[in-house]
């Protein structure tokens, strides 16, 4: 059929195979999905060259999805360890993986992930530019940046973070409004430094239409990066963050004009009482485009436990309209996470996403909990394990602390309220 991207197809009323898969996964009317995709409030990141992709939808009325960051760096360059993380993330049903590799054979790493992963793959091309071009940051040209973007698209990357909102005007606002933590976005800081050293405009902003032409050719979804996301709660909702968000709203419309699907990235670190308002503001300024948040982390004083501070904020964000959560691990701010850190981060993010789905009334979300409650009432341990987000951990606890009576646990024993209520309401005596 004659269409260039999922959005182009939706605008023409064409149902793509990817839309059919997403509609089935979400138990959603296909016509409703097509309409939302045409308006841009739902995106289906699906690069034409990612041949083994199992498509997922992100956006209005859909389940909140999670992303897992991984990748090699100069200090941790073991490709096989990172591929083990990929396999584990897939087994744990993460919907997306972002390869943030910035050292060594990044293309080899990226292609290996694409070969084994049915999950969406995201990248941040500016991370890769320095190694790919073998130049100092200040010597990289606009054409260099574009070559990296095109290579990622050709390889099959489904969505790319492009920090196009940190233009020279936004940079002036950053400089005039000093922050406690400055910029903490790696890509944003690199482009800010590049602009300062070269005196040039951000090439991703200046040549945005050229970027969109590449994205449309391969049906890459743009994830509009938040260079000015707050890196501590004291910097949230400030002039820099809001001014960049206004630019991202303008860029969203320009992408849609090219039939390029859009996600918009958001905070960051943010106090609990600001999260709901930020979700509303983003949706308003960015015309309902799907919102992708890192956290938000609701306090800055818990290094080693930031998967928890992130899950708290993520649940509130999802309940108030965020569509996609980037996981945070216990190693955040400290080091590259290992496999166990990654598992903890995935589970924390999936809990936050599901809690948000219950609050948003996403189809099937509450029913999952109700089925678990029925299994608990029946003291059906095997069914409880099968329904659990992480079946392995509850089974391990149960097997590691066996009760005297099978239909109890070692917390309450024969005083178990569930067992005793079942008995007394069933006409049996409770004998203790």
Residue 228 dihedral angles phi and psi, to the nearest 5°:
-100, 25
- Known binding-site positions for Zn(2+): 269, 333
The reply to whether 383 falls in a domain is no
User: Considering 360, 393, 416, which residue would you say is the last residue of a domain?
Assistant: 360
Task: Name the residue range of residue 290's domain.
Answer: 37-360
* Model pLDDT for residues 326-349, shown as the tens digit of each residue: 999 999 999 999 999 999 999 999
* Model pLDDT for residues 60-96, shown as the tens digit of each residue: 999 999 999 998 888 877 888 999 999 999 999 999 9
Six token digits for residue 65 = 């999805």
Antiparallel, parallel or unpaired: β 324-326 and 291-294: parallel
Give the CA distances from residue 221 to residues 20, 29, 44, 269, 367, in Å, rounded to whole numbers and listed in that order: 18, 23, 8, 25, 32
Task: For the beta carbon of residue 320, count every other beta carbon within 10 angstroms.
Answer: 19
The reply to whether 377 falls in a domain is no
- Known binding-site positions for substrate: 69, 98, 127, 163, 185-187, 226-229, 265, 292
Antiparallel, parallel or unpaired: β 42-43 and 58-59: antiparallel
- Known binding-site positions: 69, 98, 127, 163, 185-187, 226-229, 265, 269, 292, 333, 409, 412, 416
**Number of domains into which the chain is organized:** 2
- Give buried/exposed letters for 271-287 (b at 16+ CB in 10 A, else e): eeebbeebbebbbebbb
- Known binding-site positions for [4Fe-4S] cluster: 409, 412, 416
pTM of the model: 0.95
* Model pLDDT for residues 377-425, shown as the tens digit of each residue: 999 999 999 999 999 999 999 999 999 888 889 999 999 999 999 999 9
Burial class (CB in 10 A: 0-12, 13-18, 19+), 407: middle
Residues 406, 337, single domain; the answer is: no
The reply to whether 256 falls in a domain is yes
Residues 354, 420, single domain; the answer is: no
């Amino acid at each position: 059929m004659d269409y260039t991207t999922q959005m182009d197809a939706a605008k023409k009323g064409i149902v793509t195979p990817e839309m059919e898969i997403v509609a089935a996964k979400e138990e959603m009317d296909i016509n409703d999905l097509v309409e939302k995709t045409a308006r841009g409030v739902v995106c289906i990141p699906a690069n034409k060259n990612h041949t083994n992709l199992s498509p997922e939808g992100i956006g209005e009325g859909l389940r909140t999805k999670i992303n897992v960051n991984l990748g090699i760096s100069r200090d941790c360059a073991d490709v096989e360890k990172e591929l083990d993380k990929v396999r584990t993330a897939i087994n744990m049903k993460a919907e997306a993986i972002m390869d943030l590799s910035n050292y060594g054979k990044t293309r080899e790493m990226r292609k290996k992930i694409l070969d084994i992963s049915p999950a969406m793959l995201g990248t941040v091309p500016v991370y890769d530019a320095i190694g790919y071009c073998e130049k100092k940051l200040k010597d990289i040209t606009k054409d260099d940046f574009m070559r990296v973007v095109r290579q990622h698209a050709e390889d099959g990357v489904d969505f790319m973070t492009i920090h196009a909102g940190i233009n020279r005007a936004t940079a002036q606002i950053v400089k005039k409004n000093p922050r406690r933590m400055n910029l903490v976005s790696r890509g944003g800081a690199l482009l800010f430094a590049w602009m300062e050293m070269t005196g040039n405009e951000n090439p991703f902003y200046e040549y945005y239409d050229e970027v969109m032409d590449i994205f449309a050719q391969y049906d890459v979804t743009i994830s509009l990066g938040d260079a000015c996301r707050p890196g501590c709660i004291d910097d949230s909702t400030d002039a820099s963050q809001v001014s960049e968000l206004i630019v991202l709203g303008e860029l969203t419309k320009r992408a849609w004009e090219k039939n390029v699907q859009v996600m918009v990235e958001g905070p960051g670190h943010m106090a609990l009482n600001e999260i709901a308002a930020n979700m509303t503001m983003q949706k308003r300024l960015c015309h309902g485009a799907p919102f992708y948040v890192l956290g938000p982390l609701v306090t800055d004083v818990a290094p080693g436990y930031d998967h928890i501070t992130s899950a708290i904020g993520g649940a509130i964000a999802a309940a108030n309209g965020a569509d996609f959560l980037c996981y945070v691990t216990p190693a955040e701010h400290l080091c590259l996470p290992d496999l166990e850190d990654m598992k903890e981060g995935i589970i924390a993010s999936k809990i936050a996403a599901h809690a948000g789905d219950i609050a948003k009334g996403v189809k099937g979300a509450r029913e999952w909990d109700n089925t678990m409650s029925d299994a608990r009432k029946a003291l059906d341990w095997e069914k409880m394990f099968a329904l659990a987000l992480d079946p392995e951990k509850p089974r391990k606890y149960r097997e590691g602390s066996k009760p005297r009576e099978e239909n109890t646990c070692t917390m309450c024993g024969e005083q178990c309220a569930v067992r005793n209520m079942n008995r007394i309401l069933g006409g049996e005596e409770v004998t203790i």
